Chain A
């Protein structure tokens, strides 16, 4: 009987651990290296220890453009607390993105993925897509598309991850 109890207890604890993992939905964010605006290569794992908001966007996408100034504001608000927005531009011709950023500058780092390799890695299903990554490099939240009001969710989620 005691053996059975132990067995049940261990199984129960194991199940709980498994369940909590499923609940947290932590999947490691695929690592990548892309060229940034200033010509230097940036690697996602270099930002380990910070909360990262990864935003996939393109200059031809209306909702993406709408979101850019809002992401800039969020970047500036939380960057001193161990946070960064990382923009990944998916324009097939990066020049279009460069021209767009001249008219609508942002202060957060923008990386160029003209071939769409990284967006493929992340299984991007919508434009724009926003992925929020915790300090351990795990994907915690995914937002597909952008509509007014999404930024409130971003702020809540960033604050949650910063407190961890």
Chain B
């Protein structure tokens, strides 16, 4: 459990470094270069209703729960 907490803390620290460093580093993928990332085949949850059901099947039969989603990627529009 403490290993998980440490990993989580590391993730948050990485995030802050990213935030701090972003003024000197410029985004290296331009908004108009995102056609592959905007392709639905790259999404983790292309069909939420079907994906949610499979997650439910697993959760009902496995003791583990959590950390199943992912936000981000996509076309980066707006």
**A60–B33 touching, CB < 8 Å:** no
Write the chain A residue with the least CB distance to B76. A127
- Tell me the interface secondary structure of chain A in the complex: loop
**A64–B31 touching, CB < 8 Å:** no
Q: When A119-B30, A120-B30 are in contact, do A62 and B77 touch as well, CB less than 8 Å? A: yes
Answer yes or no: A109 CB below 8 A from chain B CBs: no
Per the CB 8 Å criterion, the residue count for chain B at the interface is 12
Q: List which B11-64 residues lie within 8 A (CB) of chain A.
A: 30-35, 38-39
By CB atoms of chain B within 10 A, which of A60, A63, A126, A147 has the most? A60
**B35–A145 touching, CB < 8 Å:** no
**B78–A60 touching, CB < 8 Å:** no
Instruction: Give the complex CA separation of A151 and B78 in angstroms.
Output: 15
- Tell me the interface secondary structure of chain B in the complex: loop
Instruction: Give the complex CA separation of A63 and B32 in angstroms.
Output: 13
A67: min CB distance to chain B, Å = 10
Write the chain A residue with the least CB distance to B27. A125
**A126–B30 touching, CB < 8 Å:** no
Write the chain B residue with the least CB distance to A59. B35
Instruction: Give the complex CA separation of A63 and B31 in angstroms.
Output: 13
Answer yes or no: A44 CB below 8 A from chain B CBs: no
B35 interface neighbour in A60, A63, A119, Cβ under 8 Å: A60
**A56–B78 touching, CB < 8 Å:** no
Instruction: Give the complex CA separation of A158 and B76 in angstroms.
Output: 27
Instruction: Give the complex CA separation of A144 and B78 in angstroms.
Output: 7
Instruction: Give the complex CA separation of A91 and B38 in angstroms.
Output: 12
B32 interface neighbour in A116, A145, A147, Cβ under 8 Å: A116
A6: min CB distance to chain B, Å = 44
21 contacts between A and B (CB under 8 A): A56-B32, A58-B35, A60-B35, A60-B39, A61-B38, A61-B75, A62-B75, A63-B77, A63-B78, A64-B77, A90-B32, A116-B30, A116-B33, A119-B32, A126-B31, A126-B78, A127-B76, A127-B78, A144-B78, A145-B77, A147-B78
Which residues of B line the A interface, CB within 8 A? 30-35, 38-39, 75-78
